[in-house]
Amino acid sequence: MLDKQKQIEQLVLLSVDTAHEMLKEYKLIIPFGIRSFNDSEDMKMNCPGDKMPESAYSKQINNVVSELKEFVANENVFATAVVMRLESDSGSGIGVQIETVQSSVLFVYPYKEDGDDWVIDEPIQTDQLMATVF
């Protein structure tokens, strides 16, 4: 039996690490999704923005959500993560929305460029969601 809490923690870590790598390589976050499964420890990523990076950011997020909904309908998905850049007056953040059948939560990881590196701060949990997959 897979430890569901550990699976969610791994999903969050992979989401933040992937976003961090995108920042280092491209200085931006292309919206992406990651899904984990009920019957395996595998995780799979989808990033439709790779194919059409010029489309509007909100459209890229909608494409990620649409793809995840399709995967949820056709695969034995336990949890999903939708990852995107969030901007506010106080700065930038990595939005990581985690969903299972039982719950949905959005974490915002503030980040800033520091010389040649990107510093990601501790997450802030919010009550709002970007979009729902399940």
Amino acid at 42: D
Q: The domain containing residue 43 runs over which residues?
A: 4-126
Residue 76: inside a domain: yes
Q: Which two tokens stand for residue 85?
A: 């850049």
Is this prediction's pTM over 0.85?
Answer: yes
Phi-psi region of 96 (alpha: psi -120 to 50; beta: other; left: phi over 0): beta
* pLDDT tens-digit series, residues 84-113: 999 988 899 999 999 999 999 999 999 999
Residue 132: inside a domain: no
Residue 48: inside a domain: yes
Q: Which two tokens stand for residue 15?
A: 């989401």
Residue 131: inside a domain: no
Distance (Å, whole) CA 4 – CA 70: 22
Residue 134: inside a domain: no
Residue 81: inside a domain: yes
Residue 119: inside a domain: yes
Q: Of how many residues is the chain composed?
A: 134
DSSP letter at 52 equals: -
The number of domains in the chain is 1
Residue 25: inside a domain: yes
* pLDDT tens-digit series, residues 1-11: 569 999 999 99
